[in-house]
């Protein structure tokens, strides 16, 4: 059974509140889980200690059993000092999308055609 430590969404529209859960990876996001390990409230300021609350012993137990944390949970674990920081690199993040590249190419062609006409 492939285990994940992930977020399960709760709360109303535009007022999210998440539970940190240990769940089978085949279950839906807000579906069945095995154990609730903590909470995450993104509406609280980043410095607030109530923003992320985890039961550290249970998280370590599930990690020892082979559960894989999601990216967001991995960041929470890094901030809590339970996991080593990973080097993240996303070189494509700053590049424009396909439509923006097409517009830039069309604009460059138009400028080149205007320069040749003069």
Question: Which CATH number goes with the domain that contains 42?
Answer: 3.30.1320.10
Count of domains forming the chain: 1
- Flag whether 94 is in a domain: no
**Average pLDDT taken over every residue of the chain:** 89
Q: Is the dihedral of CA 65, 71, 72, 78 positive or negative?
A: positive
- Flag whether 51 is in a domain: yes
Residue 61 has phi, psi (to 5 degrees) of -60, -50
Q: What is the DSSP letter of 34?
A: S
pLDDT tops 80 at residue 44:
yes
CA-to-CA distance for 115 and 58, rounded, in angstroms? Answer: 68
pLDDT tops 70 at residue 1:
no
- Flag whether 111 is in a domain: no
Residue 81 has phi, psi (to 5 degrees) of 85, 15
- Flag whether 87 is in a domain: no
- Flag whether 116 is in a domain: no
pTM: 0.71
Q: Which domain holds residue 63?
A: 3-80
């Amino acid at each position: 059974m492939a285990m994940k430590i992930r977020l399960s969404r709760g709360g109303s529209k535009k007022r999210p509140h998440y539970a940190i859960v240990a769940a089978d990876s085949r279950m839906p996001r807000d579906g069945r889980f095995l154990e609730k390990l903590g909470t995450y409230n993104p509406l609280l300021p980043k410095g607030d200690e109530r923003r992320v609350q985890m039961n550290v012993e249970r998280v370590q137990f599930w990690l020892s059993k082979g559960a894989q944390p999601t990216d967001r949970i991995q960041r929470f674990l890094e901030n809590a000092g339970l996991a080593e920081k990973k080097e993240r690199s996303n070189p494509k993040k700053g590049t424009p999308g396909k439509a923006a590249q097409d517009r830039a190419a069309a604009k460059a062609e138009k400028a080149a055609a205007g320069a040749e006409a003069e």
